[in-house]
Chain A
Amino acid sequence: MKATPERNLNNHSENGLSTESKEKLNLLKADVIATRKVGRLERIIGKETYRILKGLVTTPTSIIGLVLIALFVIIALAAPIIAPPIPGTNPYSMPRDGYSAQPKPPMSEWKSGTPPIPFWYTALTGREEWVHLMGTSSNAYDIFYGVVWGTRTALKTGVIIEIATLIIGILVGSISAYYGGVVDNIIMRIVDIFMTLPFILAALILAAVLMPVLGRSTLPSVIALIVFGWMSYARLIRGDILAVKERDYVLAARVIGVRNSKILFKHIIPNAIFPTLVMASMDIGTYVLNFAALSFLGIGTEVGYSDWGQILSFARDWITQLGTYWYIVVYPGITLILFVLGWNLLGDAVRDVMDPRIRKMQEASSSSES
């Protein structure tokens, strides 16, 4: 037990106790914790939500995940300060230092088209000339700008895909579960068909056919990933709604004559939606990964757009010389991995906290140990 100053104030006598009686005291305290007070926060958000939130801020892996995600959000928000764009240009297009095809190593000097120097750079290094912090890729695109502004691209695309797939999934899933019977059967077969298509190939095609129609931007890949990404949420919410539908309070609502639509939207969906929402929000990492994969294959944004997958695709031109030009792979690669890792660590913790089967097992094992 850690003796915090506060505790010492409350328990002056504790220091004088023998180790044995200290242990007894601890056991007593454990009993006290078992019948703990219900805090205000817990009363407001409910026991289950409180338990999940508490699990998230106390599990080491999820803390690392949260820190990583927070870091990326800060980078995305502070992008104009971290890597100030050249005034009057699109901040998302990576600034170029000339047109040379040859990549330049990290810390080499900007020769032409230098963007404004951020204040922190001179403060930290005392130097007056801006350098390529992470080197340049093929065609002299600055990797540092790509990585920093690519964080914005990643978060934006991830969140948009997430929200859109969730809305489609929840709508389809709840309609399917609520109406049941033939409707359910038809909708679930459609879900089966969409799931049968090889995901990355299907998204690749849709993005490729959309590209001439919509032009090169983030849009074709985003739409493609949405169209082939909603199915698992539909299945998830459908299962939860089917379970909630059988609860007594739904029956009670029926008995007293509440309208069907009100039962669905007021009683069933709010009680069934939470697991899907939480699980889904952790998938942003996966979406960003898939988006980067499409860019890596040459589908999506215009050349020079700040997008991690695209910088990595530049490395394909230098496969034989990757030993020299390692920085084209390493910087954007590690950024992407950390981003996805952050979401996956958090998601893993969420799954553990929320999975009742695992919870039961943990309770069983902890009780057998004590």
Chain B
Amino acid sequence: MTTYIIRRILLVPLLLLGVTIIIFGMLQFLQPAERAALYIRDIPKNPEALESVIRTYGLDKPIYIQYWNWLVGQKNPNTGEIHGGILRGDFGYSRVGAEPVIDMIKHRFPATLELAIWAIIPIIVVGVWLGIQAAINHNKFIDQFARVFSIIGYSFPAFVFGLLVLMIFYANLKWFPPGRLSNWVIAEINSGSFKTYTNLMTIDALINGRLDVLWDALRHLILPVITLSYISWATFLRITRSSMLETLNQDYMTTAKAKGISTKVAIKKHALPNALIPVVTISGFTVVSLLGGVVITETIFNFPGIGSAAANAASQLDVVTVLGFALFNGVILILANLVADILYALVDPRIRLSTN
């Protein structure tokens, strides 16, 4: 197993290199003047000043030099300050956000994190439960129901589902509004009477002992959580079901039954632990994609997270910002996939006990 883990870790720098190359490659579609946003806040309008900016930051140099500059940053000879450099955590300046891209990510991340925390529980619990029920009752009513449910789930685009629930629960019933907080909460935060500690509103509300704020935050979370759950359940259901079916058909399950233990115990003790191994991988993947910002769901519900910021920047062709988000997203994806794979190795006895 150690070899497996070491090999897996060695893959990380390679993936990082590849992802940065692809992202940098996409930057090449931009004009040099637009790429200047990677280094400076205000791109000068006047052609001479622009020319000097392009020269200072080597935006007309060969690609490999530009790539290197992009990685480590470039010193401004006049002030001696280093600008840019993704390795220094400087992703350039956002035209749409009017602030450095990395600050924008920092401001937006808590909202995305909070949504992810609230969404992941119903997604995994309900999805896996449905999958297990479908597999145990193979070809019975609940299985057929689960199957139809998952096909419809696959076919339901998040944005159509989101618009429909908004239509019903916001426009018609006025129960759950879009956005993240009501105006009166935002006013309280701005006036300082409500203190934010973690920027996760549900937790801050508890720390402040304010149940009204907690309810307001939850009210805004419900619809996005429902949308994310509905579109993710299909995947969880399908994977759990097929993995469980496969496990139930293994010889050791027949042995267990032959020993005379009840079906319930056989399923709980022998089938479940093995059947849930693939679920670990897909859970890891889901958590990561939630953390990376769910572009479409956040956009529909006007939820101020990373995904909606990226979509907004893209629709206004602020490429430097979107690339910054993609880079952030790619890095956490790579790291989280590493964690998921190592977890997988720990959970799966076939890998855990292998010697080579």
Does chain B have a CB within 8 A of A285? yes
Q: Mark the stretch among B13-21, B74-82, B214-222 that contacts chain A.
A: B13-21
The one of B151, B163, B242, B289 in contact with A341, judged by C-beta atoms closer than 8 angstroms, is: B151
**Cβ-defined partner of A319 (8 Å) among B171, B319, B325:** B171
| Chain B interface size, under 10 / 10 to 19 / 20 to 34 / 35 or more | 35 or more
State the CA gap A320–B173 with chains docked (Å).
Answer: 11
* Chain B residue contacts of A364, Cβ below 8 A: 249
Verify if A198 is at the interface (C-beta below 8 Å from B). yes
Alpha-carbon separation in the docked complex, A210 to B27 (Å): 10
Interface 1/0 per residue, A130-163 and B, CB below 8 Å: 0000000000000000000000000000000000
Q: Is the interface of B mostly helix, strand, loop or mixed?
A: helix
Q: Tell me which of A189, A299, A315, A321 contacts B163 (CB under 8 A).
A: A315
Given A197-B19, A197-B326, also A341-B155 (CB < 8 A): yes
Name which of B36-44, B51-59, B293-301 contacts chain A. B293-301
Main secondary structure of the interface of A (DSSP, over half): helix
Q: Which of B138-190 contact A (CB under 8 A)?
A: 138-139, 147, 151-152, 154-160, 163-164, 166-167, 170-172, 178
Binding-face segment, A35-43, A200-208, A257-265, A270-278: A200-208
Residue pair B310, A209 in contact (C-beta under 8 Å)? no
Choose the segment among B106-114, B205-213, B267-275, B329-337 that binds chain A (4+ C-beta atoms closer than 8 Å).
B329-337
- B170:A337 contact, CB within 8 angstroms: no
Q: In whole angstroms, how far apart are the Cα atoms of A193 and B154 in the complex? A: 25
Q: Mark A262-294, 1 if CB is under 8 A from B, else 0.
A: 000000000000000000000001000100110
A194 within 8 A of B: yes
Whether B171 contacts A322 by the Cβ 8 Å rule is yes
Across-interface contacts of B334 in A (CB, < 8 A)? 196
**Of residues 343 to 370 in A, which have CB atoms within 8 Å of B's CB atoms?**
344-345, 348, 357-358, 361, 364-365
Which of B178, B315, B326 contacts A297, CB < 8 Å? B315
Assess the A333–B163 pair: CB atoms within 8 A.
yes
Residue from A202, A285, A329, A345 in contact with B167 in the complex, judged by beta carbons closer than 8 Å: A329
Contact of A326 among B167, B170, B246, B296 (CB under 8 A): B167
Instruction: Say whether, besides A319-B178, A333-B160, A345 and B151 are in contact (CB < 8 Å).
Output: yes
Question: A189 to chain B: which residues have CB within 8 Å?
Answer: 11, 14, 18
Listed residue (A206, A208, A312, A315) with the most chain B CB atoms within 10 angstroms of its CB: A208
Shortest distance in angstroms between A270's beta carbon and chain B's nearest beta carbon? 29
Distance, CA A341 to CA B310, complexed state (A): 29
**How far, in whole Å, are A201 and B26 apart by their CA atoms in the complex?**
12
Asked if A76 is at the interface of the complex by the 8 Å CB criterion, the answer is no
B245 pairs with A196, CB closer than 8 A? no
- Judge whether B22 is part of the interface by a CB distance below 8 angstroms: yes
B296 & A190 in contact (Cβ 8 Å cutoff):
no
Question: Which one of B155, B293, B300, B333 contacts A340 once the chains associate, using CB atoms below 8 Å?
Answer: B155
6 A-B contacts (beta carbon < 8 Å): A205-B323, A206-B26, A298-B315, A315-B163, A337-B157, A344-B154
Return the 8 tightest CB-CB contacts between A and B, nearest first.
A193-B18, A298-B315, A322-B171, A209-B29, A323-B171, A341-B155, A322-B167, A333-B160
